[in-house]
Chain A
Amino acid sequence: MSNHPNDYIKPELMACCGAREIRDGDIVIVGTGFPTMSANIARYTHATHATLMQESGVFDARPARPALSVGDPCLNPGAAMIGGLTDVMGMFLQGGWVDVGFLAGSQIDRYGNINTTAIGDYAKPKSRLPGSGGANPIGALAKRVLIIALHNTRSLAEKVDFITTPGYLDGPGARERWGLPPETGPQVIITNKAVLRFDKETKEAYLESYHPGTSVDEVVKLTPWELKVSDDVHETEPPRAEEIRVIREVIDPHRMITIYEKRGYV
């Protein structure tokens, strides 16, 4: 088996990109789908001491199948601790203990601000979305935030219709002005086409790597802002054999990850 098998699907590559952002020992707050997948890939490969928690109140769950929501029954038996929202969101997240948070959104802008509230005018929305839930506090308070998005000119936006969750707001210094904890904020936007990383100075997302099968030009074209390109831009490393093995044999034997292909992550 080659070290980089060819038969992977795009959601697997994206999950691996997320996993590679996780360091050994990290405390990771996860939702369902990609976040859990990524965190578990990390746990079974390079970050065996990473631990997961769900906002609903669960620490170090050991589910027998992939959870369908952060309140899923399978998260209960086997967890190390179960409390409530004020335990995880309060004591752990606001308390400053969470290293990594994972977020997705219907609209994301160049500063990593996320909209999950409404498309169009808030008072008379074209489409009313679910709202913040735990996203705003995770975006505000987790040390490193990873964002998952579809790469098109609808999901990525020059400006989001509503800032539900703070990225770098309107640029350098904004998080600090609002009193958000120092050294926090989004790190990457992982899309089905590329990995965009946030510039430490300008706080703007730039192109770090493009996935196999696409190109710098295509990614730039699909991005609604003038996307800056790293001097070291390169192709994203495909999933490694070991990562693929962990996904298919350990974490997701029923291949629930394929639903993301139907949602456009191709």
Chain B
Amino acid sequence: MGKVMSTADAIGKFVHDGEFLFIGGYVCRPPFAAIHEIIRQKKKDLTITRSNAADDFDMLIGAGCVKRFIATFISLGVYGLARCYRRSIEKGIPHKIELEEYTNLSLPLMLMAGAMGMPFVPVKDMVGTDLMNVRSFMGDGKYKMIESPFDGSPVMLAPALHPDVAIIHVQQADEDGNAQMWGIGGDCKWGANAARRVIVSCERIVSRETIGKDPSRTIVPAFKVAAVTEEPFGAHPGYTPGFYDMDLAYGYLYKEASNTVEGFQAFLDEWVFGVKDRTEYVQRYIQKFGFAQYKKLQAKFDYGYPVSYTY
């Protein structure tokens, strides 16, 4: 059976209530088309993770989809603290999520360990700080301190992570799911490869032959991929290198809206529940802000030497 499907089908089929999701992105390539679909389908009790979370995680938390968050950091970037996240933690709105906190070194290494089949990984950070003193749903399993069997020095071990599903947005993939990404990677490659199944959202579906013209860019191989969805502009208001810029004006709208529960709800009504899919979202964007603004975000091209693998 083919893997190419709509985002609605991919989320409906492969994301279940209560599952553990890795969601890729790092300012670049947040899989927003999938995020909106998770909210539309009212998924709940999810555990979510990635290093440096942003507006996409804030939105999932505000929409009530999240029970647990394996976190390192979350903010709205230039627009400061993440509003829904704060309301959840400080006031329990819509409910208080449970947090397990790591760092941008330890969490990517835990995902790497998951991808590599390593049971745990030694990390050199976190020691001596209050990050050791707060444990939540992972309890004693958050980390262990041991004496190095080699030289007796204190070493922290952090457990491997195995998400049920990874959702990533990349530049291009073929119909089987060979996924190619370039530009700032964050923890996307490890997160995707640590997961039991992967949903690849992409700007464009290309042929297997095109993938073969530059195979070093593939970060997830087809055999790990459950679904491929083609979602142009799918990371907006984040950016995708080579396709479009981040949209700071829209980011400001989200910040302003998410200042209040009512504003956040109205934002969801307009941009998530008010459209049936990403195509309608893009249409609404163009209707509201004009085609010129949409065009302005599109990337210019600047090529180097073409890559050749021939011999």
CA of A212 to CA of B131 in the docked complex: distance in angstroms?
Answer: 38
A178 near B154 with CB under 8 A, answer: yes
Q: Does A84 contact B (CB under 8 A)?
A: yes
Task: Please measure, in the bound complex, the distance between the C-alpha atom of A184 and the C-alpha atom of B302, giving whole angstroms.
Answer: 41
Measured CB to CB, the closest approach of chain B to A162, in angstroms, equals 5
Judge if B90 is at the interface, Cβ distance under 8 Å: yes
> Is B78 within 8 A of A179, CB to CB?
no
Other-chain residue from A73, A137, A140 in contact with B28 (beta carbon distance below 8 A): A73
Verify if B183 is at the interface (C-beta below 8 Å from A): yes
- Tell me, rounded to whole Å, the shortest Cβ–Cβ distance linking B72 to chain A: 6
With A131-B72, A140-B126 as contacts: A89 and B105 at CB distance below 8 Å? yes
Could you tell me the distance in whole angstroms from the C-beta of B194 to the nearest C-beta in chain A?
A: 12
For the complex, would chain A's binding face be called helix, strand, loop or mixed by DSSP majority? loop
Per the bound structure, the CA–CA distance linking A135 and B102 in Å amounts to: 11
On chain A, the residues within 8 Å of B90 by CB distance are: 124-128
Contact A117 B241 (CB under 8 A): no
Chain A residues positioned under 8 Å from B265 (CB to CB):
none
**For residues 20 through 53 of chain A, which have their beta carbon under 8 Å from a beta carbon of chain B?**
none
Q: Is the CB of B185 within 8 A of A179?
A: no
- In Å, the complex CA distance between A128 and B28 comes to 25
- Could you say which residues of chain A place their CB within 8 Å of the CB of B130? 117, 122, 162-164
B124, A57: Cβ atoms closer than 8 Å: no
List A contacts of B248 (CB < 8 A).
68
CA–CA, A128 and B107, complex, Å: 20
CB–CB B74/A84 < 8 A = no
Tell me whether B134 is interfacial, beta carbon within 8 Å: yes
The proximity string for B residues 266-286 relative to A, scoring 1 for CB distances below 8 Å and 0 otherwise, is: 000000000000000000000
Task: State the Cβ distance, B62 to closest chain A Cβ, in Å.
Answer: 14
Closest to B52 in A: A133
Complex alpha-carbon distance, A180 and B128, angstroms: 9
Q: Choose, from A4-12, A74-82, A240-248, the stretch at the interface.
A: A74-82
Q: How far is the CA of A175 from the CA of B188 in the complex (A)?
A: 32
Interface code A135-164, partner B: CB below 8 Å = 1, 0 otherwise? 111001100000000000000000000111
Q: Does B20 contact A (CB under 8 A)?
A: no
Nearest Cβ on chain A to B104's Cβ, whole angstroms: 4
Residues of B within 8 A of A82 (CB): 182-185
Given contacts A77-B302, A85-B51, A89-B105, contact A56 B74 (CB under 8 A): no
Please tell me the number of chain B residues within 8 Å of chain A, measured between CB atoms.
Answer: 55
Min CB distance A165 to B, Å, is: 7
For residue B255, give the distance in angstroms from its CB to the closest CB of chain A: 14
A132 vs B109: C-alpha distance in the bound complex, in angstroms? Answer: 15
Pair B125/A56 contact, Cβ less than 8 Å? no
> In the complex, what residues of A have CB within 8 A of residue B77's CB?
68-69
Tell whether, in the assembled complex, residue B108 and residue A90 are in contact, meaning their CB atoms are under 8 Å apart.
Answer: yes
A258 on the interface (CB 8 Å rule)?
A: no
The verdict on B164 contacting chain A, using a C-beta distance below 8 Å, is no
- Pairwise interchain contact A174-B74, C-beta atoms closer than 8 A: no
Query: What residues on B are CB-neighbors of A140 within 8 Å?
Result: 124-127
| Contact between chains at A137 and B101 (CB < 8 Å) | no
Q: Quick one: which of A84, A126, A164, A169 contacts B185, CB cutoff 8 A?
A: A84
Bitwise, B8-19 to A at CB < 8 A (1) or not (0) is 000000000000
Say if the beta carbon of A58 comes within 8 Å of chain B: yes
Contact with A along B142-157 (1 / 0, CB 8 A): 0000000000011100
B71 at the interface (CB under 8 A from A): yes
Does A71 sit at the interface, judged by CB under 8 A?
Answer: yes
The residue from A71, A113, A166 contacting B52, defined by CB atoms under 8 A apart: A71
Q: Which of the 9-residue segments B33-41, B79-87, B197-205 touches chain A? A: B79-87
B129 touches A141 (CB 8 A): no
Per the 8 Å Cβ criterion, residues 99-133 of A in contact with B are 113, 117, 122, 124-133
**B119-145 vs A: 1/0 string, CB under 8 Å?**
000011111111100100000000000
* Closest Cβ neighbor of A85 among chain B residues: B108
Is B246 an interface residue when CB atoms closer than 8 A count as contact?
A: yes
Residue B32 interfacial (CB < 8 Å):
no
Complex alpha-carbon distance, A126 and B125, angstroms: 27
User: Chain A: which residue is nearest B153 at the CB level?
Assistant: A179
- Chain A residues 205-250 with CB under 8 Å of chain B are none
Given contacts A68-B248, A163-B128, 11 further A-B contacts (CB under 8 A): A56-B184, A57-B185, A76-B28, A87-B185, A94-B124, A94-B125, A137-B104, A137-B106, A140-B126, A178-B128, A179-B154
Please, could you name 24 A-B residue pairs with CB atoms under 8 Å apart, sorted by A? A57-B185, A57-B186, A68-B78, A72-B27, A73-B245, A76-B28, A82-B183, A83-B185, A84-B189, A93-B105, A94-B124, A117-B101, A126-B90, A130-B73, A131-B71, A136-B129, A136-B131, A137-B125, A166-B128, A169-B128, A175-B128, A177-B128, A179-B155, A180-B128
Q: Footprint of A on B, CB under 8 Å?
A: 26-28, 51-52, 71-75, 77-78, 81-82, 85-86, 89-90, 101-106, 108-109, 112, 123-131, 134, 153-155, 182-190, 239, 241, 245-246, 248, 302
